[in-house]
Amino acid sequence: MAVTVGDPDDHDDDREIPAEYMPTAMAGAQALLDHLQRMDEIHAAFAANALSPDALKPVTAAMAALPDANKMASTLGAGLLSLANVSKMITDSLANLDWAKTLSDRLVQLGAFSDTFVRAVIAQSDNWRGWPADRPIVDVIEELAQAGYPVCWVPRHEVILALYDADPTKRPTVLVEHQISILNDCMPVLDEVTDPTLTGLRDALYRANAAFLSGHIWAAQSLAAGIIDTALRAAFSHLEKFTYGKAVTEVKKTTDASIADYRQAATYWPLVKALTSFWPGDPIPMTFNRHASAHAVSSAQYNDANAIVAIMLATSMLRELQQNLTDAGEDEQLVA
């Protein structure tokens, strides 16, 4: 037996699947169906929760079973609809095979799961709320964060999209154009930093913000860079002996973070750019660099755009540290 796939009226396009290949094809199809079956319990877990950061905790174990899930989510929505259409074509051609229609139905269900996944990512950070449904949030977040632009907790998503849409060489200009809204976004986020171990840094960052708004740009950048350095050591206090290189290595390990760790990972991704190695005598980087801010005071490093990046990054890091402490306290209460 051989199964013909193609338009029966167009014999030039007919393709035959030799009978000896059918067992392999059927086994492959069943394996795919078995994998899709695992999505049911995950989708149900999402549907049963309000998709707040706290509500995401119960589904962490289920999400861990999906490799590179965050990478998959940004493209699944549109791609799965196309796959569902392809599966329908297969169904029409191979009507005698029950798995084809089942596969079509399952792909549509998986598309719905992908949409839920993306909404779960959006729920992790307040500034991602209201994200346009037609914009791929995972792609946007990863490109900007890994290019050195903070995107977690601040700024508002309209600014994030403006940065993403701009030519990379024009992104510093976009920051300057939105400087007031960005700094205004930082203030209420800093207000949420209340742990006694962090309030000193928070108050210092208030002053950096005020210095910028008063026109003291270099002072603002210098102070924010120092706050980043202090917050960095708190964030990576688990390292046996802190070095900038070790911190960067730890950050790079999180590029494939699960949904449960996604926001925290994305908070620290800009550090890879900010901590790029710089030694006296090296060309002074034009983008924000912690080392150059400390050891190469010049107009090449100190400017409005870099000061804004430094303030945003310090704000993002302090707010993430606060969230970690809050979550740890809630976990202790649950254990008690």
DSSP letters spanning 144-204: HHHTT---SS-S-HHHHHHHHHS-GGGHHHHHHHTHHHHHHHHHHHHHT---TTTHHHHHH
Question: What integer pLDDT is reported at residue 122 of this predicted model?
Answer: 83
Q: Average pLDDT, stretch 267-294?
A: 97
Q: Higher pLDDT residue, 65 or 131?
A: 131
pLDDT digits (tens, 9 = 90+) for 233-259: 999 999 999 999 999 999 999 998 888
Q: Is the pTM of this model over 0.75?
A: no
Q: Average pLDDT, stretch 125-143?
A: 92
Lowest mean pLDDT among 107-121, 180-194, 300-314: 107-121
Residue 47 has pLDDT above 50, yes or no: yes
Please state, rounded to an integer, the average pLDDT across all residues of the chain: 80
Q: Higher pLDDT residue, 311 or 136?
A: 311
Task: Sort strands 3-5 and 15-17 into parallel, antiparallel or unpaired.
Answer: antiparallel
Residue 190: pLDDT band with limits 50, 70, 90: very high
Residue 17 has pLDDT above 80, yes or no: no
Give dist(CA 249, CA 308) in Å, integer: 25
What separation, in Å, do the N-terminal and C-terminal C-alpha atoms of the chain show? Answer: 65
Question: What integer pLDDT is reported at residue 98 of this predicted model?
Answer: 57
The domain limits of the chain are: 3-122, 132-335
Residue 3 backbone phi and psi in degrees, to 5: -105, 130
Of these ranges, 10-14, 78-82, 140-144, the one predicted with the greatest mean pLDDT is: 140-144
Q: Average pLDDT, stretch 66-74?
A: 46
Q: Average pLDDT, stretch 184-203?
A: 98
Q: Give the residue carrying structure tokens 């254990």.
A: 335
Give dist(CA 127, CA 55) in Å, integer: 18
CA 25 to chain centre: 36
Q: Higher pLDDT residue, 97 or 255?
A: 255
Question: What integer pLDDT is reported at residue 199 of this predicted model?
Answer: 98
